[in-house]
Structure 1
């Protein structure tokens, strides 16, 4: 008797798979790959970034998925939550964008505390002024 193995690209029992298309803002064309309907948005962003880098596309994006937002192409709503499932949105076309710089700067500023920011000089401007005036007085003598 001949035994047949299930092919890897066939869907597993109990879960639907979707062919999704992700357009990266500033890139030439979309990235297409197959995901499970129950896949979370954060994992889809990670897969898209890895595929993008593997293909050697430009512009270079990086690999930190926390710097990106995924939008549904045909819905006017905001960015998708990283914990939503990709199949819950009823769309197969998405857009991947970098987070705006203002959000990143605010997050970085919240992380930094005043103790981690060093001082530029070794004194205040008043002490510098007093030193420079004292030097002029000495040179005048």
Structure 2
């Protein structure tokens, strides 16, 4: 970086407002965490997107996909509530997070057909469809 650019950064008051910090995201089912720098004002949704792209670029397993709407991000320091995708990542003061895939919902019609099924689905719905009888839930 040139001396001129370094002086501009020092004199620019906005360059000091944006703080960056290193976060660690553990992905449920993956062997190790993902680490990268974020800005304090970055939205949780943007952090999830960056984590998914980084995870895929590294070729990690299990394959998660790229739709950030299918995931929750939890703070390791906070309670059991997922972070809102529209809040700033720095609003909690935490540096450690957990990324979890949302559970896919399935619906079973009266004739046993499964609607909206993604992934492995529900074992009761599979059994109902396979054996064509109903198992009641408790």
TM-score (norm 1): 0.65
Secondary structure, aligned partner of 1:35:
strand
Distance 2:84 2:31 in 1: 26
Distance 2:52 2:88 in 1: 18
Distance 1:64 1:95 in 2: 17
Q: Which has the larger radius of gyration?
A: 1
TM-score (norm 2): 0.67
Q: What CA deviation, in whole Å up to 9, does each residue of 1:9-65 have, x standing for no partner?
A: xxx331111100000000011000000000000000000000000000000000000
Q: Which residue of 2 aligns with 1:3?
A: 3
Structure 1 position 4, deviation (Å): 5.1
Can you give the 5+ residue segments of structure 2 that lack an aligned partner in the other structure? 7-14, 108-114, 117-138
Can you give the 5+ residue segments of structure 1 that lack an aligned partner in the other structure? 7-11, 110-141
Distance 1:14 1:74 in 2: 24
Match of 1:87 among 62, 87, 90: 90
* Paired residues, number: 101
Distance 1:38 1:99 in 2: 25
Q: What CA deviation, in whole Å up to 9, does each residue of 1:74-122 have, x standing for no partner?
A: 22231110001000011000000000123xx47x86xxxxxxxxxxxxx
RMSD: 2.0
Q: Which residue of 1 aligns with 2:69?
A: 66
